[in-house]
Amino acid sequence: MENTNKSNNPLTILLASPRGFCAGVDRAVEIVKKSIKKFGTPVYVRHEIVHNKHVVKELEKIGTIFVGELDEIKDKTRPVIFSAHGVSKEVVKNAQLQNLTFIDATCPLVSKVHREAEMLNKQGYHIYLIGHENHPEVIGTMGQLDDGSIDLIQTKKDVYNIVLPNNEQKFAYITQTTLSVDDTAEIIKEIKTKIPNIKGPIKEDICYATTNRQNVVKAIAKKCDLFLVIGSENSSNSQRLVEVAKKSGCTNSFLMHENADLPIDKILTCKQLGLSSGASAPEILVENVIVQINKVRGTKVEEISTVEENVSFKLPRDLQ
Residues marked active site are found at 137
Mind giving me the DSSP string for 137-185? Answer: HHHHHHTTS-TTSEEEE-SHHHHHT----SS--EEEEEE-TTS-HHHHH
80-82/43-46 β-pairing: parallel
Task: List CB contacts of 45: < 8 A, sequence separation 6 or more.
Answer: 32, 59, 64, 65, 66, 67, 80, 81, 83
Task: Please name the amino acid found at residue 285.
Answer: L
C-alpha distance from residue 231 to each of 51, 149, 253, 312 (Å)? 8, 33, 13, 22
Angle between helix 108-122 and 23-39 (nearest 10): 100
Q: Rounded to an integer, what distance in angstroms lies between the CA atom of residue 37 and that of residue 40? A: 6
